[in-house]
Chains A and B, each alone.
Chain A
């Protein structure tokens, strides 16, 4: 039973560029949440997708956007990258109906030069 998978594992970009990160939820899950974890900090909630729509959003600018596909997989897009966007980006999946706890992937390490 595959858990949450994220790609790529590592990514290096420069300021001003755009990036797309990908996430496949755990088998049987239908809800995907994205988090940003800066070095030495706890994860910060970016947004959550369910039924291909953004259901809830944290305190992040519009440069952060996402998408959920019919197979429940999801993408996180970040435009106009800033040095401060360097972080570990974590994807978590859950099942909406039974309020299951969120299960996390190993993350994508994004470095901005």
Chain B
């Protein structure tokens, strides 16, 4: 079945770049997403990338996709204390019914810890 793997923790110094990695197994994944979850809150969509793209940049966020290795990464430049949260990688498979945003498969999340 589909599986999404992430490291559980990442610790970085404030001002450095953070790189959160994710691997997935479903070769038919068409969209890959990054969500952020702060304590006691729901999921905030950060960015997403279509499987025919290699890279996407949005302000401090850069997403890299290596489709051959089924590896996705999220780079956060100039990491701030407000970036402290759990980051989830998720994938969807359009093959299900040919349309729409299908049910997502999530990893267990990476806790990003910011050191002063």
Contacts and interface: CB of A to CB of B under 8 A. Distances in A.
Interface residues of B, number: 26
Nearest to A90: B42
Size class of the A contact interface (CB-based, 8 Å): 20 to 34
A57 B17 CA distance: 38
Given A31-B101, A33-B103, A48-B102, A101 B45 contact: yes
A33 B108 CA distance: 19
A102 B106 contact: no
Interface in B60-116: 88, 90, 94, 96-97, 99-109
Interface stretch (A11-19, A64-72, A104-112): A104-112
Given A103-B45, A104-B42, A42 B33 contact: no
A99 B42 contact: no
A33 B54 CA distance: 28
Contact of A56 (B97, B106, B107): B97
Given A94-B100, A96-B100, A101 B106 contact: no
A102 B104 contact: yes
Contacts of A47: 103
A18 B46 CA distance: 35
A104 B34 CA distance: 13
Interface of A: 4, 31, 33, 35, 40-45, 47-48, 50, 55-56, 58, 90, 92, 94, 96, 99-107
8 contacts: A48-B102, A90-B43, A92-B43, A99-B99, A101-B101, A105-B42, A106-B41, A107-B41
